[in-house]
Structure 1
Amino acid sequence: MDIFLLILGFALMLLGVVGSLLPVLPGPSLSWIGLALLYFTNAVPANYWILGISFIITALISILDYVIPAKGTKKFGGSSYGIWGTNIGLLVGIFAPIPLGFIIGPFVGAFIGELIYDHKDHHRAFKAATGSFIGLLASSFMKFVVCMVFLGLFLWVVWTNKAGFF
């Protein structure tokens, strides 16, 4: 059973890294579940500090994932229409059958939202859409770093407890 949990945990860690770049998958949450599965094995002693701190980090990152693109839109002069456009564009972009729709969607959504707000000021709409794009990139980078740290922690714990597995 320990080997099964180890393999499943590692698969979730890898899926979490992929999910940190694709908004369809909750990357940090999947990585945390993979890390928690590692501690359910008999080979690894329970460490509630690591699980607790990593859970808090996962919760914060998950909340910030939705806040950062909207804040980027606002920071670059966007209105509430641009923020709503960013969120709607992100959802449409995820499910749209176009390559990189999850990147293009928030940009186009913020741009259209700002044009609805003020159809005469294309420059401000483009600036707000750029803020949305930068916010999305910052959010994805932050999730990627957290997932890579969790993966490194996973591998380190497996390595230090390898005698219990193999």
Structure 2
Amino acid sequence: MDFLLLILGFVCVVVGVFGSFLPVLPGPSISWVGIVLLYFTKAVPANYWILGISLLITIILTILDYVIPAKGTKKFGGSSYGIWGTNIGLIVGIFAPIPLGFIIGPFVGAFVGELIHDSKDHQRALKVATGSLLGFLASSFMKFVVCMMYLGLFIWIVYQNSTSIWNQS
């Protein structure tokens, strides 16, 4: 059972890394579940400090993941139309059969949203769409860094407890 939990935990952490770029998957949350699964094994003693701090980081990052793209849109002069366009574009971009739709969708959504708000100011709409894109990229980068830290933490914990893990399996 410990070996199964170890493998499932590792899969979760790796899927979390991919989820840091794919908006469909909550990357940091999945990575955190991978770390929790590791602590469910009998071979790894529970460390509530690591679990608590990593959970707090995951919660904060999840909240920021929704705030940063909207703030990026607003920072570049976006209206509520641009923010709604960003969110709708993200959803459409995820399911659209185009490469990198999850990046292109929010950009186009913010642009279209701002054009609906003010159809004469193309320059402003482009500026707002760029802000949306930068917000999305900043958010994705933060999630990627945290997920890579969780992957490193997972590997480090396995390494620290490797004797007891392999003797139990």
Q: TM-score range by the shorter chain?
A: over 0.9
Structure 1: distance between partners of 2:164 and 2:95: 43
Query: Percent of counterpart pairs with the same letter?
Result: 75
Show CA shifts across 1:8-29 (max 9, x none).
Answer: 0000010000000111111000
1:64-79 paired onto structure 2 within 5 Å: 64-79=64-79
Supply the AA of the counterpart residue of 1:78: G
Count residues in correspondence.
166
Supply the AA of the counterpart residue of 2:154: F
Point out where structure 1 has 5 or more consecutive residues left out of the alignment. none
Q: Structure 1 stretches (4+) deviating beyond 3 angstroms?
A: none
Which residue of structure 1 lines up, in the alignment, with residue 136 of structure 2? 136
Show CA shifts across 1:34-67 (max 9, x none).
Answer: 0000000011000111101101111111111111
Structure 2: distance between partners of 1:145 and 1:55: 15
Partner SS state of residue 104, structure 1: helix
Please provide the CA RMSD for this pair.
0.5
Structure 2: distance between partners of 1:79 and 1:111: 11
Which residue of structure 1 lines up, in the alignment, with residue 26 of structure 2? 26
Partner SS state of residue 43, structure 1: coil
Which residue of structure 1 lines up, in the alignment, with residue 62 of structure 2? 62
Which residue of structure 2 lines up, in the alignment, with residue 35 of structure 1? 35
Correspondence 1:125 to 2:121: no
TM-score by length of 1: 0.99
Point out where structure 2 has 5 or more consecutive residues left out of the alignment. none
1:1-166 paired onto structure 2 within 5 Å: 1-166=1-166
Structure 2: distance between partners of 1:51 and 1:161: 16
Which deviates further from its counterpart, 101-110 or 59-68? 59-68
